[in-house]
Amino acid sequence: MKTDSNKVNPQNTVTPDLPTLTESVIQRAREGLQAARNPAAQSTYNAVFANLDRIPNGEGDHKISGLARRFFIRLFINMLFSVSIENPENIPTGPAIIAPNHLNHIDPFLLLSIAPGAPFIYILGDARTLFNKKWKRLLIRAVGGVIPIDRLWKEEKAVIRAAELQRKDLKELAEDLARDVPDGGSISTLRRLENIHTAIFRQGNSLLIFPEGALGVEEGKLRLPLKRGALLYAIQSGAPLVPAAIIGSHDVYLRKKIIVRFGKPLQFQQKKRPNARETQLALDSFQNALESLLPKQYTEPNDLKLFRFFLNHMFW
């Protein structure tokens, strides 16, 4: 079968937006499958959503207060890093969608350590990353305020695509991934999330969403294309979209200086169902705003990197 050599190579590179198909990528896909089949993770997922479903029903969901959460997270972050805030006047004090770049699993804690305790900020995150360890499951069930998102990892997509392109040795793994790993695209799942998000804004609270959809690979550069979820929630709810740049968290170590730079809130005309052109224009505007906050050239400090490995892998 003739293929475009710039797009497909079934032996290693699958498509430009998917990783090269190495043994580590295949192993990561196997780990993702195992995480999706984990009964403890599934139980926690169901319990978390049962709690979140209380919000559209007009009931209070179980969660720690935003002020208490910020207090403890701030103590934790300030012990580890030196965090500076730029443009604090742009930090939202009312319902909003905060949309930062994403370089490290510690990024949500950085944002929550400096954002106001009220309104309460709910965090959207990858379900399997959130529930892959027992201590995470216990913490999330106790603290609340987290919205798990189902999605296929890029490594899993690479395996599935390679199996379609005659990698017969990956066929069984690809079939297992397609069967057992939810991609979050079902109508019922999307409607459930929409109901929860709508109720969150109706109660005067906010969302924290990482629009890259995965960790970036380099300081100062976004993983493109950006996902549209944060933008669509902003358009549909009428809530402002606040871009934020996290600078210095790609490679962390004890007492490293990290900058969180907030951009001016973006306000879009509220629409229940924006068309494709409106969505793309708004997405371009948001991407430009986010990129303008990132450093044009980042130089890693020449510091003593104490506890580097531990801090970079603490929340994996």
- Which tens digit of pLDDT belongs to each residue from 40-79? 999 999 999 999 999 999 898 999 999 999 999 999 999 9
| Residue partners of 274: CB distance under 8 A and separation at least 6 | 232, 235, 236, 282
Angle between helical axes of 23-36 and 154-164 (0-180°, round to 10): 110
Which pLDDT belongs to residue 176?
A: 97
Task: Give residue-wise pLDDT tens across range 109-132.
Answer: 999 999 999 999 999 999 999 999
Name the CATH superfamily, with its identifier, for domain 61-150+185-313: Glycerol-3-phosphate (1)-acyltransferase (3.40.1130.10)
pLDDT, residue 185, reads: 87
pLDDT at 12: 47
What was the pLDDT predicted at 178?
A: 95
d(CA 14, CA 152): 15
Please give the pLDDT value at position 15.
53
Distance CA(314)–CA(253), nearest Å, equals 11
Q: Is the pLDDT of residue 9 over 90?
A: no
Instruction: Note the pLDDT of residue 5.
Output: 37
Mean pLDDT along residues 257-262? 98
| Spatial separation of the C-alpha atoms in residues 175 and 248, rounded to whole Å | 39
For 178: left if phi > 0, alpha if psi spans -120 to 50, otherwise beta; the answer is alpha
pLDDT at 1: 37
CB 158 within 8 A of CB 17: no
**CA dist., res. 93 & res. 116, Å (int):** 7
16-28 pLDDT, tens per residue? Answer: 578 889 999 999 9
Query: Has residue 4 got a pLDDT over 50?
Result: no
Residue 300: CB atoms within 10 Å: 11
Q: Where are the domains of the chain?
A: 14-52+151-182, 61-150+185-313
Torsion of CA 40, 41, 42, 47, to 10 degrees: 90
Going by DSSP bridges, is the β-strand pair 82-86/257-262 parallel, antiparallel, or unpaired? parallel
pLDDT at 129: 92
Q: What is the pLDDT of residues 137-173, one digit of tens each?
A: 999 999 999 999 999 999 999 999 999 998 999 999 9
Q: What is the pLDDT of residue 28?
A: 94
What confidence tens digit (pLDDT) does each residue in 170-221 have? Answer: 999 999 999 999 998 889 999 999 999 999 999 999 999 999 988 998 999 9
Mean predicted confidence (pLDDT) in 245-263: 98
